[in-house]
Structure 1
Amino acid sequence: MSGCATTQIEEPEIKPEPTPSDKIHKNSDLSFDAHQYDYDIVSGATSTTFGTTPPPLYTDEEKANLMFWSNQPPLGVLEGYYYKNERSFSGSNYGIVEVVTNPQTKQIENVQFTEFASNPYYENKYSGKNKRLSDYAFFQAANTRTDETLVTVVNGITFVEDQMRAENRLSGSFNTVKGASSSARQGFMPLASEMSGWLDESFGYKYFGVAKELDNGIIARLEVITKDDVIEEVKYDEYFADSYDKMTDITDRPYYRQSRYYSIDYNLATNNEFIDFADSLTNYIEANNSLIVDDESFTKHEAFETYKTLAEMLDIKPSW
């Protein structure tokens, strides 16, 4: 009608019901290492300088300030279908590739490569040891062979992991870091490529993990793998910060960029006390098929409350 004002009645906003993914999927809150790296990138294999000791280009202090690598696991809650491939590769080193995918989209949420040195190894200290979470990268950094490239095996591994996650693929060509490509090209990439066709099926394995930075600068991490809702494997570890001055306990600072479970020097100094606790705890959980632990032999340990906090953040029997 001409000349009459009409009142607009706003329709109430109808929010869609949350999808199963919204209800259960927490991976969007994950936080990965955000350090900015400046690598010399190569697309093929490079020649090795193994066995050489060239003249130094830097003082120890200068080199320490120039080099950086991170042992940080993804912070937050990560869950999804779980895939694993492992075997020995060149030089009798042992590689393990673990992949977690989104239950709904099959998107790769995380890729992790772990390498154990051969046993025996030319430097006996590292025989059969975890290269990523021990002080092995510092051993590499101390050699003048790395003066030119300023990288370690950890740099080479994490660079390829980031590509696989970002590009949502496990096979094909990947760039590598000059001076740190051997483990990636000879172990990581072949193992991952074999898994590429696996991701179309779930095989019943599910991954539930959480990593949380504590007030003391330590990162606590709990990982649970289930098969048909039965706990198959549990791992609990605590990671020393990437920067030693970030840790409030000065006795932890010598072990920065390592983990309590895999640090050779830390466990030598503490008589494997953390390893014994973590192994006993995870064996108990696996035997009882539950993250609820009320045995006093565990509850009195200083790390137990941290474990309990992480365990309460996980739902290991989701609806997907």
Structure 2
Amino acid sequence: MILVLSSLTLVACSNENSQPDEPKAKKVAVESQGHDYNYDVVTSATTTTFGTHPEAKYTKEEKEARMFWSVQSPTGLIKGHYYKNESEFDGGNRGILELVTDDDGKLIHVEFNEMASANYYEPKYANASKRLSDYAFFQASNTRTDDTLVTWVNGITFLEGQMLAENRLDGNFETVKGSSTSARNGMMPLAAEMKDWVKKPFGFYYYGIAEPLGNGLTARLQVVTEDGKLVSVKYDEIFADQKQEITDPNLQAFYRQSKYFSLDYGKETANSFVKFADGIEKQVLKTQDLLDVPEQDTESFRNYEKLAQKIHVEMGK
């Protein structure tokens, strides 16, 4: 079963609030992971407000109620030919674009990640994932997002959805006004470089599976092979987009983050999950067997083993 990240529907064609020096925007309604968004979108870069701190328009509670973004991966199984491209842009931020296609070359999965630069102006986020840490909350807390009500995640998932829906990697795309820098300077150039790559298999194959655990967490395992050899095994557990969906009150603070990339969760747990996931990958790459891993009496190990068994079956087909 293949699931896409989002679907896009136009609902209007103007924005009376556009600034004179800004490209003319239009409203787009987006449905993603069961939540409706309304974005101002443009077809070129927008003027950045980086470094500004205008007067607040909302209280913290009001703004939290107005803003939403999703960090959830598609649930179910995705498998196909795998492609990866990465590069630094805008002062050392590292963009990483991963694509999966079916046997006919059609895009079935598009995922962009960005690691903040080593000298990022807010030291907490140096080398951190902008997608799966609390980086988007950091953006949301700044009053410069009071007008747009969007974060890095909104801009990227919107572009991912377009690429999937239109099955293309180059040419111009609409981007979310107020959250277009990484999309245009990071993701789009990487995608354009890959437009000819996806016309033929490179020998890399992807198996990805994500399943809700029923407690406000989703387990995700991503496996990549090169000519049949295991070369990447990434396991993570992603917290729900709404804190009330997380059954353990002690974990609700980490909503819209993942165990592997959450800076605060890592600090609170002495990076135990990172050590666990890295240990799994090291062992599997050594044995070349997803199931040849020393048993551990932990919930995360049992979650990993369940997904690994399913991918093991798929790899044997």
Aligned pairs (5 A) from 1:52-71: 52-71=52-71
Displacement of 1:106 after TM fit?
A: 1.5
Residue 23 (structure 1) aligns with: none
Structure-2 separation of matches of 1:248 and 1:294: 29
Displacement of 1:302 after TM fit?
A: 2.4
Aligned pairs (5 A) from 1:98-247: 98-103=98-103, 105-247=104-246
SS of residue paired to 2:36: coil
Structure-1 separation of matches of 2:314 and 2:297: 25
Residue 28 (structure 2) aligns with: none
Q: 1:316 to 1:227 in 2, by over 3 A?
A: farther
Displacement of 1:127 after TM fit?
A: 0.4
Structure-1 separation of matches of 2:119 and 2:249: 33
Asked if 2 retains the 8 angstrom alpha-carbon contact of 1:30 and 1:77, the reply is no
Displacement of 1:30 after TM fit?
A: 8.6
Displacement of 1:201 after TM fit?
A: 1.0
Residue 75 (structure 1) aligns with: 75
Structure-2 separation of matches of 1:30 and 1:70: 10
Structure-1 separation of matches of 2:49 and 2:146: 12
Q: 1:216 to 1:201 in 2, by over 3 A?
A: same
Residue 300 (structure 1) aligns with: 297
Q: For residues 59-106 of structure 1, what are the alpha-carbon distances to aligned partners after superposition, in whole Å with 9 as ceiling and x for unaligned?
A: 000000000000000110000000000010112100000000012x22
Asked if 2 retains the 8 angstrom alpha-carbon contact of 1:30 and 1:75, the reply is no
Asked if 2 retains the 8 angstrom alpha-carbon contact of 1:29 and 1:76, the reply is no
Amino acid at match of 1:68: F
Q: Does 1:280 pair with 2:255?
A: no
Residue 2 (structure 2) aligns with: 27
Structure-2 separation of matches of 1:60 and 1:294: 45
Amino acid at match of 2:298: H
Q: For residues 153-211 of structure 1, what are the alpha-carbon distances to aligned partners after superposition, in whole Å with 9 as ceiling and x for unaligned?
A: 00000000000000001111100001000000000000011000011110110000000
Structure-1 separation of matches of 2:161 and 2:4: 17
Q: For residues 112-164 of structure 1, what are the alpha-carbon distances to aligned partners after superposition, in whole Å with 9 as ceiling and x for unaligned?
A: 00000000110000001100000000000000000000000000000000000
Displacement of 1:293 after TM fit?
A: 3.0
Q: For residues 258-315 of structure 1, what are the alpha-carbon distances to aligned partners after superposition, in whole Å with 9 as ceiling and x for unaligned?
A: 000000000000000000001001111111111113413xx22321111111112214
Residue 88 (structure 1) aligns with: 88
TM-score (normalised: structure 2): 0.89
Moved beyond 3 Å, runs of 4+: 28-32
Amino acid at match of 2:271: N
SS of residue paired to 1:55: coil
The alignment yields a C-alpha RMSD, in angstroms, of: 1.4
Tell me, which stretches of 5 or more residues in structure 2 are unaligned? Answer: 7-31
Residue 317 (structure 1) aligns with: 315
Residue 26 (structure 2) aligns with: none
Q: For residues 222-242 of structure 1, what are the alpha-carbon distances to aligned partners after superposition, in whole Å with 9 as ceiling and x for unaligned?
A: 000001111010100000000
Residue 48 (structure 2) aligns with: 48
Q: 1:318 to 1:108 in 2, by over 3 A?
A: farther
Amino acid at match of 2:315: K
Structure-2 separation of matches of 1:108 and 1:52: 38
Amino acid at match of 2:310: M
SS of residue paired to 2:39: coil
Residue 252 (structure 2) aligns with: 253
Greater Rg, structure 1 or structure 2?
Answer: 1
Tell me how many residue pairs correspond in the alignment. 291
Displacement of 1:33 after TM fit?
A: 2.0
Amino acid at match of 1:195: M
TM-score (normalised: structure 1): 0.88
Structure-1 separation of matches of 2:173 and 2:56: 31
The structure whose residues are more often strand, as a share, is 2
Q: Sequence identity of aligned pairs in percent?
A: 51
Asked if 2 retains the 8 angstrom alpha-carbon contact of 1:80 and 1:208, the reply is yes
Amino acid at match of 1:98: E
Structure-2 separation of matches of 1:154 and 1:29: 16
Asked if 2 retains the 8 angstrom alpha-carbon contact of 1:229 and 1:316, the reply is no
SS of residue paired to 1:36: strand
